[in-house]
Amino acid sequence: MLVLHEPGDGQDSNANFADLKPDDVRVYFTLTVRTETPMTGAPGGAGATLRREKLEAGDVLNERYEIGGVLGSGGMSTVYRAYDRNAQHNVAVKVLEPLIASSTGARKFFAQESRLLRQLEHPNLVRAYDVGYRGGLSYYVMEILPGGDLKTLIDKGPLSLAETMRITLPILDCLEYLHRSLIIHRDIKPSSILFNELGVPKLTDLGVAKVPSKTGTIITRAGMTRPGHIVGTPRYMAPEQIMGHSVDQRSDLFAFGVLLFECLTGRIPFSGDTEFEIMRSILENSLPLPRTLNAAVPIEVEAVIIKLMAKKPQDRYQTAAEVKEALIQVSAIQPSEVSPVPLRLPRTFRRREDEAALRRPGHPALAVVEMLAGVATEVLEGLRYISVRPSPLLCGGLTCHQSCRETASQTL
């Protein structure tokens, strides 16, 4: 992932990127640099203070998480396998690199990702359990996903259509859920899709997502993006994202198209020796046809990819639901094989129109509520009947006096 901006004051957010020269553009890569940072916990006893260049197996973070080893590492953070002493199960602990943590922007990226993962809930979105700062380390705890990532799978060769659909259709469900929550991921790529022990795909990397503010308006990078700035991974960026223009759900769908292309062909559609050349290729070059790289790709699926990766957002599919419907039709996948999107969105991000839709006549949720109300009414009527009808045990059974028998017959 990179952050790119134009030199100068950065006020011209609509400058023509294609007219820029390599020397006119500065690309900032986050570098992994390890420093000695104090942390709490050690094999020798809880609460002991260590100064290490990195967490090591046997360290205990916050007197709770026993570090077992490194699961993965990136430019901004390292993910460790750990054991949660309180919950008594394995987890993953994502730790922000100490030197990177000195950057205000990096800390905001990290805080946003942990906050979103704790607030959102979807079967194909990684879950976060805890967040903290201890001994100079910013970290959050999430479910462990030992099945590797999609990038590793693609590196072994193109996937079959069935395998591609098994992985990508649930991710589409997750994207639909995020978009209905007014969240744009902005960094969809194979390494952002991990698998649990059962092979279920999970979407991660929400640090650079475009999210709604508390007032309902849209902000970018939690208020961190200035005009002319670009965030994301160049080879998966939509043209409007490269140009620094406003992005929406259709930008995510472009990246999803690149993902489909790569799954089925084993390579990315636009390449270059540098990130700059890749971005220029996306803007200027025509999309190579997937079937020229893999003849096994059905022509109908190729047509879906072509539409997903149209240069102009208005020429693409407009929603993730449209893409899912098209893929199910052309790939002969049964809708029951795709996990449904949860009806209830997180209250933090739910739109008023979604709430209004739940009250419209004929809505499935409204029908369920009406059914439950009818059942509750019948139960209450039954309780009233029981409370009014005299009990033989209390009134003497067959020898009950005449007034009780008359009351019982009236109740019946």
pLDDT tens-digit map of 174-219: 999 999 999 999 999 999 999 999 999 999 988 888 887 653 433 3
Task: Give CA 374 to chain center in angstroms.
Answer: 38
pLDDT at 54: 73
Phi, psi of 358 (to 5 degrees): -65, -20
Query: 31-142 adopts what CATH topology?
Result: Phosphorylase Kinase; domain 1 (3.30.200)
Domain boundaries, the chain: 2-18+146-357, 31-142, 364-411
- Residue whose entry in the numeric block shows the structure tokens 């744009």: 184
Residues found in the chain: 412
pTM of the model: 0.68
How far, in Å, CA of 92 to CA of 104, rounded? 24
Contacts of 147 (CB under 8 A, 6+ apart): 194, 195, 196, 197, 198, 199
Q: Which residues are catalytic?
A: 187
pLDDT at 10: 37
Q: 212: phi > 0 → left, psi -120 to 50 → alpha, else beta; which?
A: beta
Q: 45: phi > 0 → left, psi -120 to 50 → alpha, else beta; which?
A: left
- Spans of the chain below 50 pLDDT: 3-52, 215-228, 339-360, 384-401, 404-405, 407-409, 411-412
pLDDT at 394: 39
pLDDT at 229: 61
In whole angstroms, how far apart are CA 99 and each of 26, 104, 106, 138, 306? 21, 11, 10, 11, 42
Structure tokens at 191: 């390494």
Compute the 3-state secondary structure of the chain and give helix, strand, coil in percent, each to the nearest 5.
40, 20, 40
Among residues 109, 95, 150, 94, which one has the least CA distance to residue 262?
Answer: 150
pLDDT at 321: 96
Beta strand 65-73 pairing with 60-61: antiparallel
Single-letter amino acid code for the residue at 402: Q
CB atoms within 10 A of CB 55: 25
pLDDT at 311: 97
What CATH architecture is 2-18+146-357? Answer: Orthogonal Bundle (1.10)
